[in-house]
Structure 1
């Protein structure tokens, strides 16, 4: 996404623009729902199903839209069973609520309101669970566009657990949207102090350096990010821009060619 001053790359749930063979998918998802609600299925299996399409995961590229819909329906049924019928309490219940919230958050109107209710309930049953505040904060950025609420949640997540690099990357994104690049830069450095291998932090800091005209440091960060994630087409685009700024036009062309190859493979 493009934000004031510079861009941030975050790990987001993929949105679905269209669904093929909707009626067939729904018919099969009804069967999936019955399977997910089977009382004989172990809780551990239900947890895996529930989490399979939450905001932290992405469907495999080769699966078509109708199959993705089936997976989502099966995941939602498993989440419903965990929340409503599995007798979970405390942290276990909170995790199931968060996974269900992540499934509903990309939706509109009632679906998003349901997600917010689940995030709030997760926080109520496990008030010291930093991840709950962070995940609600991300939803407020991505789907609610409520930056003050997002910042409040991420600040609370960091207060509860100051060692999670992704919390700082998320707050950096908020700060940039709010026109505070220096605060964003400080958070990216903090993220990398906890996790030097954070691709998100390296990429975003590289973009910061690029916008500041510091192409040498930008290239260092993009090189490090590509070492960790060599199949990320976006990273080649960013490094190409930095190489061109540095006068390395051949290197920029090579990166753009590699980006095109990867984008074609993703289709």
Structure 2
């Protein structure tokens, strides 16, 4: 097993890796190109692969650990199920946000240990924000040259519930969650893994997710949420606030799709 450890030096190195990957995406994102699609020659794919190759090469130089990335996801389960520690990467999370050019896309890097995300970085290059969280070390955001500690904030009596979700696409499952909340509810729209970061930063109370996500979509922000004092649990829409809900875990099965989940505190 690799002796790699999360410490101040490795956190700085990982932060630089994510930010450099973001710069490579921005070089393409900022170019004057009107069409962004998922064809092999598109700027979106070019940006995705540029970030992927940079991250994989840099992580390989940093630690002797396996890497599972959205852009190299065809690793057989027979091999993957033996992993106890590995990197889980989404080099460009937020395809729709990239295409819309609204800036709400991210670079995600997570360390998974025995199914738990113990370290994560979510870097939003356009927003110039970098969220970082590590088990037993807390969480923070880097913005405008400042390092600001973040902490999830539970809902208090009489306060409006701030719920991360879509204003235009309210599924029956989401309505079940909303109906279980007492009092006023405010919906906050956000793209990519930044949704989880809103709860981690105390800017929202809940993020119920009932759409499809893959493990690389969530792992980095999941680690940040945990480090900030939030919970990420499997969501049963018929019992959305089950106190005994199981924690969301990684690399437990052949499929890399997540179940529905809830981020809360």
| TM-score for both structures, normalised by structure 2 | 0.28
**Which has the larger helix fraction?**
1
Q: Which has the larger radius of gyration?
A: 1
- Asked which structure has the greater RCO (Cα within 8 Å, sep 6+), the reply is 2
